[in-house]
Structure 1
């Protein structure tokens, strides 16, 4: 690697990561204009379609500078969240568990988050596979990110809800989920877009 390009490359990677996290979290908050955080039976196909559209377009704003045909990412997001919304899982990224038991939230958050990551990750991989070398790594990165982000966010939301007696605690928990997932997937994307051999 040319050492003269190294500081620029670091700046570009860091800038990409910051933009990715910012648009993903803002996308979640913007989705709340149309979606009201609810419980699993209430958060179905429409919530998934609307949420997937908002998140897909938000992330597209960053990806369009780095990959060819970034519109495929939008369709992956819309289709993925719509199907999840219709399935038994539901639009889980906008769902607050009914239980306040932190252990249950962590346990089921990991299971549900991993399932979301597998499904969404597979569709996003379809958008990346032709354009990004070693895109197959996204197939394990996405379940890992959601398997970490969802239980942490649900646990935080549960603690906040018990402490404040307000449902708003769960909203902030889901915002934390999106921030964690955005941070972790942003790191993975920087490593895929700027080929890094040490992972």
Structure 2
């Protein structure tokens, strides 16, 4: 949504649009604002790891809301608290006079510690807050429903893009191999490997584009100006595939004499290709995570965590996925045939699929944690 449209909605009194404009400034200080509206009264809940400073927060809100000059909002109730706690401070801003009226308690000159509402819809009008005693502290709202929602949306994006890409790849590879076998009756292992690499060079950018587009639809519900995510993701997949390919074959060819040496142990001989692929994958994950980080670094607090989780979570998922494939898929394949080139290709493919889905389960939890403090954006009309 464009800034002009967001400002237009905020001037019309849209609480979510106002919260988004406020968050654009406050999130740089680690503060998240949630908003709701009842009649001409706007309610704002400010949360941070350290309780927001009352004077500084009120001074900023006075300036920002006076500048906004929404004719539909006359009063603003402001609640400030530390994340995970129920108590905090509470103030009232009357926009018509441009003055703050702080709820008074028994101690003169000090703002009492009030219990912030679980949700903004539970806050009481000022007259009730003065006449009735404060409710006992209640448990803070659980973060898990919102995190679970974002996580499920992230998994849906990954599974949908993977399924579509797999269908396209299966049809494409099937037609290519059918044509080749009908012309030449057979194909060498080198020919199969060459066709596989060529096909993956087409499949990976396609997967990156479809995945980036699906993830963009999820991110747009929480972050503005995220359109570059899909293109950066596709570019990251292209560069990552090339890096993995180059690093793998470079290390594999460099260490080939050691692998083929009769005196080399079986474990080392089998482990070197795996290590070469793992190092290539490390560069690939780092490349994809960095280009994605470029699109969210200014909009999402602690966006650098996405790079760390993508790299380390990806490597962990790769190891667990390949181990699971070797544990369950290899016995299944070898029970029907010898462990030849095709069997090895099936085991690697299954391990790659396991790793891919496990990676998105881990990275989805990280993205949900990053997006949790952000308010959901209003839908574009």
TM exceeding 0.5: yes
After superposition, the Cα gap between the structure-2 partners of 1:89 and 1:52, relative to the gap in structure 1 and judged at 3 Å, is same
Cα offset for 1:104? 5.9
Tell me if structure 2 keeps the 8 A contact 1:117–1:145.
no
Displacement of 1:3: 6.1
Query: Does the residue aligned with 1:148 lie in a helix, a strand or coil?
Result: helix
> Out of 188, 196, 199, which is 2:366 matched to?
188
2:212 aligned partner? 56
Query: Aligned residue for 1:67?
Result: 223
Q: Is residue 267 of structure 2 the alignment partner of residue 89 of structure 1? A: no
Q: Does 1:30 align with 2:167?
A: no
**Which is further off, 109-118 or 137-146?**
109-118
SS in 2 for 1:33: helix
Matches within 5 A, 1:166-177: 168-177=346-355
Return the alpha-carbon distance in structure 1 between the equivalents of residues 243 and 293 of structure 2: 23
Give, in angstroms, the shift of residue 10 of structure 1.
Answer: 2.6
Q: Which residue of 2 aligns with 1:135?
A: 303
Partner of 2:118: 4
Structure 1 residues 161 and 33, CA gap change in structure 2 (3 angstroms): same
Say how many residue pairs are matched.
Answer: 186
CA deviation vs aligned residue, 1:11-47 (integer Å, no higher than 9, x gap): 1111101221232133222211222599673454322
Deviation at residue 175 of structure 1 after TM alignment = 2.6
User: Is the Cα–Cα contact under 8 Å of residues 107 and 151 in structure 1 kept in the other structure?
Assistant: no
Cα pair distance change 1:170/1:22, threshold 3 Å: farther
Tell me how far 1:106 sits from its aligned partner: 6.1
Using structure 2 for the length normalisation, give the TM-score.
0.43
Match of 1:93 in 2: none
Which residue pairs with 2:125 in the alignment?
Answer: none
SS in 2 for 1:32: helix
Which residue is 2:326 aligned to? 158
Higher strand residue share:
2
Q: TM-score, normalised by structure 1?
A: 0.77
User: Could you tell me how far apart the structure 1 residues matched to 2:332 and 2:230 are?
Assistant: 37
Cα RMSD (Å) of the superposition?
3.1
Q: 1:172 to 1:26 in 2, by over 3 A?
A: farther
- Three-state SS of the structure 1 residue aligned to 2:223 is coil
Q: Is the 1:89–1:112 contact (alpha carbons within 8 Å) kept by the matching residues of 2?
A: yes
- The separation in 1 between residues aligned to 2:273 and 2:319, in whole angstroms, is 6
CA distance in 2, matches of 1:44, 1:83: 13
Task: Please say if residues 293 and 304 of structure 2, whose CA atoms lie closer than 8 Å, have aligned partners that are also in contact.
Answer: yes
Change (3 A) 1:61 1:175: farther
Higher relative contact order (CA 8 A, sep 6+): 1
Equivalent residue of 1:143, what SS? helix
Bigger radius of gyration among the two: 2
Structure 1 residue ranges without an equivalent (≥5): 91-100
Q: Shift of residue 169 of structure 1?
A: 4.7
Aligned partner of 2:291 in structure 1 is 123
Answer whether contact 1:80 1:120 (CA < 8 A) is retained. yes
Q: CA deviation at 1:70?
A: 2.5
Return the structure number with greater helix share.
1
CA distance in 1, matches of 2:168, 2:354: 19
